[in-house]
A and B are shown apart, each in its own frame.
Chain A
């Protein structure tokens, strides 16, 4: 197991290294420098500014410096915010994004599992169709379309929630709903399929025959087994949360990382773009790693084959 983890972590580092390299050289291909604005500098001054950002060195040296900084957790200094390290910007912006992501993931999964469960129990019944439709809509409708709809109806027309901005818990409700739709729908579809399969399997029939009560069958035997594979869809969910954070934070004017990323793109703030890219990548890879490990821990079959005597 330890060897497996070590191997995975190594891959993770290689992947991160590749992303860092890729983004570094892509950014070098683009026009633009910290000397934005109306370009009122003389040559000498430009040299001073470039020096400050270490842009006077040849690109290979810049690259080495960049990697060296990375190892020490230094992502460079933002072009757009003078004198502000990228790490500070990311730290500043982390709060709202993390809160939103966590709320959407937890609430979305819980509701999704319940929906899936209800659908599976009333297999082919009215409730099944209803929740299947919800799930299909949830995975199909682009989240920004959905967010716009929510904002238009609940905030602008009916004035039930604040239109935008960040602050109180109420501010987070609409964006959370917009963001949780995909995790919810994915979980619902997944749990339904798994549950239908599990409920039709032999050990359930055996349990029924032994007189286990219906709730006991559904929860104790059915759901436990249906829940395990759910871990595998956490990857796509993480992706949807990232894309979601970009558009939804934009729509609801939330000062989070996604919004920051889109802005950095707009103002050619390359150090911040690279920093955010790496953060997203690290998060994504970390989540995948953890889910893979978790999967091994939860699924008894994998545990047996992995560490059996």
Chain B
């Protein structure tokens, strides 16, 4: 009797499974079309299992988290942090930045600069090869750079990084001049001559940037539209190769590139990457031992700031309120802008909300970024605090501004990001502004990054929490943002004096570094006299980093992490 009971139950279970399978089975052929995927899923399962074993043996393998998928591995097309990270790790440009952000030899062994600073001649090494065996030559650079500015490519960073730097880059990009006229030529296979549009003192460090990587013309043209969409359609010449990657992959590996010219320096065999977006999940993975590095978002700092592996890395990104003068007429009033820029407590924000080593910003150029020529003093220290938290001054400006406008209350919108920390920060800023400035009503709008950029482009905001990270080692990368009608201005700021100072710095004063910096100081001062923006903070990165990771450092621009000189400490 009992047995029969169970048999019936079992039969029932089977029946049910069949029933459910039937009903689910026809659901648009997901199951059937999926069998292929299911198999691959199993494969990866095994792979993961093997990897975990490898991990415990701990032989020069690192496991790290990436915040998102890699949108593009095409050096001409990449625009974001992750693209440049993996382009930097798998490709080698003329130079590479070392620990102190100084350029060290890459494909170029050395270079000569003409006296007027306009012609740079690079000598390339002859032993560098692509992962398919082809040698890396000067022609690869010529092809890649032409491709980056060619209007047919539709690159965003090409014209941005090269325009005004390399001769004819802007003209080529607008189609006024054929692409062959770009100021870059291959004298022979291993000599690259670059003519500049203006003397650019930081050009050497610029060549380490992703957009300036060489490309193997034959390979790129063979792949056509498929180029750089998966591991199979990429060629590498850097310290690592990218394996198991497709453009939607959520897991991939950096594997040591044995054909890299400096392969013996590279010690790490493999760096496994996995996409995890949620900060608390990544921290738990770290504690579980599945990954060797995890970012700590501000709300988790309390918990992990006493963790043995807690590390704070300063960054050179600056965050500020963009004040749009075109949409809300109150913001065209300098007194109102001055009031807003002084009306929020940055100390509390940095210490209590961000809490991750970020520091208060009272100017535009970040600290520890650009040393002033000759004196060697840091730009920020030399320039001083230009915009500080001061409720009394803010109130004074505010009342003056309201008088001038003849109103007693103003409504405005604050646009900000939608990550957990930025949401908290936005709420705080809105609250601070409306508390400290009577009569100000702030409505909040927290949107995802991409949407914020869209709203920025269409100048559809009043105040915006925005940030900027440098694209090369020069204050100009920040100051050029606010040139009248500049591509990133997008808030209607215009000051002819400011424009003139910067124009001068890039043209007549280009070879006189001391005078350039004088202009930069002057320009930054004007920016804050006008209260064009309201600086908030300079960011830092809090992380848990396993003590077994050694020699990984963070670049001030371009690829975030540099793994070439990294090693795995097996003592742990």
Residues of A within 8 A of B (CB): 31-33, 35-42, 44-45, 48-49, 52, 80-84, 88-89, 91-96, 98-99, 101-102, 105-106, 109-110, 113-114, 151, 155-156, 159, 162-169, 213, 215, 219, 223, 227, 231, 234, 238, 250-253, 255, 265-268, 279, 282-283, 286-287, 290-291, 294
Contact = CB atoms under 8 A, between A and B. Distances in A.
Contact of B276 (A48, A167, A253): A253
A253 B27 contact: no
B23 A164 contact: no
A94 B33 contact: yes
A210 B31 CA distance: 45
B450 interface: yes
B284 A267 contact: no
Contacts of A105: 20, 24
Contact of B458 (A31, A106, A213, A234): A31
A106 B41 CA distance: 20
6 contacts: A41-B159, A81-B69, A83-B247, A106-B17, A227-B19, A286-B28
A219 B151 CA distance: 73
Contact of A83 (B159, B225, B278, B458): B225
A91 B29 CA distance: 12
Contact of B247 (A84, A94, A219): A84
Contact of B38 (A42, A99, A165, A267): A99
A94 B490 CA distance: 40
Contacts of A167: 44-45, 48-49
B276 A98 contact: no
A42 B174 contact: yes
Interface string B6-45: 0011011100110111111011101101100110110011
Nearest to A253: B276
A41 to B, nearest CB: 6
Contacts of B229: 82-84
B47 to A, nearest CB: 8
Nearest to B175: A44
A45 B159 contact: yes
A44 B457 CA distance: 17
Contacts, number: 209
B109 interface: no
B173 A45 contact: yes
A98 B31 contact: yes
Nearest to B5: A215
Contacts of A32: 450-451, 454
A37 B159 contact: no
B290 interface: yes
B154 A45 contact: yes
A81 B229 CA distance: 9
Interface in B233-281: 246-250, 274-278, 281
B376 interface: no
Contact of A99 (B26, B41, B288, B458): B41
Q: Which of B77, B157, B249, B451: most chain A Cβ within 10 A?
A: B451
B406 interface: no
B143 interface: no
A81 B73 CA distance: 10
A36 B23 contact: no
B288 to A, nearest CB: 6
A102 B28 contact: no
Nearest to A82: B72
Contacts of A40: 156-157, 159-160, 487-488
DSSP majority for the B interface? helix
Nearest to A108: B20
A288 B90 CA distance: 49
A72 to B, nearest CB: 16
A215 B19 CA distance: 21
A265 to B, nearest CB: 8
Given A38-B453, A39-B457, A106-B20, A253 B275 contact: yes
Given A31-B455, A165-B274, A215-B8, A39 B27 contact: no
Nearest to B173: A42
B322 to A, nearest CB: 13
Given A84-B248, A253-B275, A267-B449, 17 more contacts: A32-B450, A38-B79, A40-B487, A41-B154, A45-B151, A81-B248, A83-B226, A96-B41, A98-B31, A156-B287, A163-B285, A168-B45, A213-B1, A231-B23, A251-B281, A283-B28, A283-B30
A159 B288 contact: yes
Contacts of A48: 151-152, 154
A120 to B, nearest CB: 14
A91 B34 CA distance: 8
Contacts of B133: none
Q: Which of A40, A110, A250: most chain B Cβ within 10 A?
A: A40
A165 B272 CA distance: 14
Nearest to B68: A263
Contact of B4 (A36, A165, A215): A215
Contacts of A265: 448
B30 A251 contact: no
A253 B281 contact: yes
A49 B24 CA distance: 41
A286 B26 contact: yes
A-B CB proximity, top 10 nearest:
A95-B37, A40-B160, A167-B48, A255-B250, A266-B448, A163-B284, A37-B79, A267-B450, A32-B454, A81-B247
B553 to A, nearest CB: 25
A290 B284 contact: no
B80 interface: yes
Given A105-B20, A109-B16, A94 B37 contact: yes
Contact of B488 (A38, A159, A165, A287): A38
Contact of A287 (B23, B160, B225, B249): B23
A188 B193 CA distance: 76
Interface string B438-466: 00000000001111011111101000000
Contacts of B20: 105-106, 109
Nearest to A295: B23
A45 B49 CA distance: 46
A253 B278 contact: yes
Contacts of B173: 42, 44-45
Contact of A164 (B157, B226, B284): B284
Contacts of A215: 1, 4-5, 8
Contacts of A44: 151, 173-175
A45 B170 CA distance: 12
Contacts of A168: 45, 48-49
Contacts of B157: 40
B234 to A, nearest CB: 13
Contact of A165 (B9, B290, B490): B290
Contacts of B248: 81, 84, 88-89, 92-93
Contacts of B458: 31
A165 B20 CA distance: 27
Contact of B154 (A52, A151, A164, A223): A52
B74 interface: yes
B164 interface: no
A283 B45 contact: no
Nearest to B40: A95
B92 to A, nearest CB: 23
Contact of B156 (A37, A92, A114, A282): A37
